């Protein structure tokens, strides 16, 4: 079984990288980070829409290109390399997926808006510090009206529509599709470690909301997002490691390149190994996602755990490898460290995903025991 990208996908990667290197240098992420009023890079978003990237995996009957999620992974990895300050993940990996999987006829009409770049999405699960859980859901929908508060919501300021986890009239937690540009919705910017991706506190006070899909939809969306974000994290981890290696070769200390010292060599070798482990798990995850395998939940959790660790480690060691200059505002290394920590928390913390992985492995073990007996 070949888990690598095909020749066509590698050609797609080449063109995507060429475009992003020309149109999205790291100064674009830094510009959004420095601008307290900006929630994302609108000009870059329009350019990505013009390239057809928001339409890539959307079926042709809804104005999309009808390509696979594996093709989408190529974009995810390259967007991760450049720290693209746009709400691509929230819109394409999550909202578009929800509509394609479970949207009714009217809800699916929003897919054409996503393809055209007119609809931006976010997912609102958390209600404050701590992991999202059934017990902590206070948001509620009664007679089609949503009341509650969600925070932090990644891309909550940029979004036009939200997927909100709330209780229905029977008390069952499920997802609701909520337009954000309506009365009954108040948004407030939250300060985060990575302002190049906005976060918001959203208060719903009788906002119109309609259910989408069955209660199981959230787990399926999180699994799919975990796989796609893993590629984004691998892209960032690889870029951070490449910067560290390049600098270690050119920086001299005591008459020798710092890369010749074991302390640097060993940590960068560890970063390389972590990145390859993360990539392997991401490949397995996208195979499970695209093929509809029963292994998706376990593969997604493994991809998420490995990618979170790889990106955090590579970004941290890139800071260390650059020495004192790496900790200055002018150096780019802190941008990767910020994004690594932001992606750590965007769909639940690594701890939550480790617990999900343990549960899946345990369930698999029990199943194997039952089959053997």
Mean pLDDT is lowest, of 126-135, 205-214, 268-277, for 126-135
pLDDT tens track for 125-170: 999 887 888 788 999 999 999 999 999 999 999 999 999 999 999 9
Q: What is the pLDDT of residue 117?
A: 96
Sign of CA dihedral 268, 271, 272, 273: positive
3-state per-residue secondary structure call for the chain: CCCCCCHHHHHHHHHHHHHHHHHCCHHHHHHHHHCCCCCCCHHHHHHHHHCCCCCCCCCHHHCCCCCCHHHHHHHHHHHHHCCCCCCHHHHHHHHHHHHHHHCCCCHHHHHHHHHCCCCCEEEECCECCCCCCHHHCCCEEECCEEEEEEEEEECCCCCCEEEEEEECCCCCEEEEEEECCCCCEEEEECCCCCCCCCEEEEEEEEEECEECCCCCHHHHHHHHHHHHHHHHHHHHHHHHHHHHHHHHHHCEECCEEHHHCHHHHHHHHHHHHHHHHHHHHHHHHHHHHHHCCCCHHHHHHHHHHHHHHHHHHHHHHHHHHCHHHHHCCCCCHHHHHHHHHHHHHECECHHHHHHHHHHHHHHHHHHHHHHHC
Q: Where do the domains of the chain lie, and which CATH numbers do they carry?
A: 7-115 (1.10.540.10), 121-211 (2.40.110.10), 217-372 (1.20.140.10)
Q: Mean of the per-residue pLDDT values for the chain? A: 93
Q: Count the neighbouring beta carbons within 10 Å of the beta carbon of residue 214.
A: 12
pLDDT tens track for 6-28: 889 999 999 999 999 999 999 99
Place of tokens 């899946």: 360
* Percentage with pLDDT > 90 across the chain: 82
Q: How far is CA 220 from the centre of its chain?
A: 15
pLDDT at 357 exceeding the cut of 80:
yes
pLDDT tier for residue 4 given thresholds of 50, 70 and 90: confident
8 A C-beta contact, residue 248 and residue 242: no
pLDDT at 258 exceeding the cut of 90:
no
pLDDT at 243 exceeding the cut of 60:
yes
Q: What is the pLDDT of residue 2?
A: 60
pLDDT greater at residue 79 or residue 372: 79
pLDDT greater at residue 54 or residue 130: 54
Q: What is the pLDDT of residue 132?
A: 80
What b/e string do you get for 75-87 counting C-beta neighbours within 10 Å, with b at 16 or more? bbbbbbbbbbbbb
pLDDT tens track for 303-355: 999 999 999 999 999 999 988 888 898 999 999 999 999 999 999 999 999 99
């Amino acid at each position: 079984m070949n888990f690598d990208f095909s020749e066509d996908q590698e050609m797609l990667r080449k063109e995507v990288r060429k475009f992003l290197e020309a149109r999205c240098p790291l100064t674009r992420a830094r510009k959004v980070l420095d601008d307290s009023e900006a929630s994302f890079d609108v000009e870059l978003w329009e350019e990505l829409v013009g390239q057809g990237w928001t339409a890539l995996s959307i079926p042709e009957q809804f104005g999309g290109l009808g390509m696979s999620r594996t093709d989408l992974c190529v974009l995810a990895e390259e967007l991760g390399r450049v720290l693209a300050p746009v709400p691509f993940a929230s819109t394409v990996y999550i909202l578009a997926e929800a509509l394609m999987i479970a949207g009714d006829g009217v809800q699916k009409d929003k897919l054409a808006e996503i393809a055209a770049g007119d609809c931006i999405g976010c997912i609102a699960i958390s209600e404050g510090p701590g992991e999202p859980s059934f017990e902590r859901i206070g948001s509620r929908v009664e007679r089609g009206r949503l009341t509650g508060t969600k925070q932090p919501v990644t891309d909550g300021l940029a979004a036009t529509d939200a997927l909100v986890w709330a209780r229905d009239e029977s008390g069952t937690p499920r997802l609701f599709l909520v337009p954000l540009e309506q009365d009954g919705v108040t948004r407030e910017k939250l300060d985060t470690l990575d302002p190049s991706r906005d976060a918001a506190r959203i208060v719903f006070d009788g906002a119109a909301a309609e259910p989408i899909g069955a209660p199981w939809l959230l787990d399926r969306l999180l699994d799919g997002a975990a796989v796609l974000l893993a590629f984004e994290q691998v892209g960032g981890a690889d870029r951070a490691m490449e910067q560290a290696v390049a600098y270690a070769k050119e920086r001299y200390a005591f008459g020798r390149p710092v890369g010749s010292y074991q302390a640097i060599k060993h940590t960068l070798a560890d970063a390389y190994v972590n990145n390859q482990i993360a990539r392997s798990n991401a490949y397995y995850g996208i195979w499970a996602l695209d093929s509809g395998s029963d292994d998706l939940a376990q593969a997604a959790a493994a991809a998420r755990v490995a990618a979170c660790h790889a990106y955090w480690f590579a970004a941290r060691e890139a800071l260390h490898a650059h020495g004192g200059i790496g900790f200055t505002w002018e150096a780019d290394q802190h941008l990767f460290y910020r994004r690594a920590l932001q992606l750590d928390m965007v769909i639940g913390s690594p701890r939550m995903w480790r617990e999900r992985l343990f549960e899946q492995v345990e369930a698999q073990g029990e199943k194997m025991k039952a089959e053997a007996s």
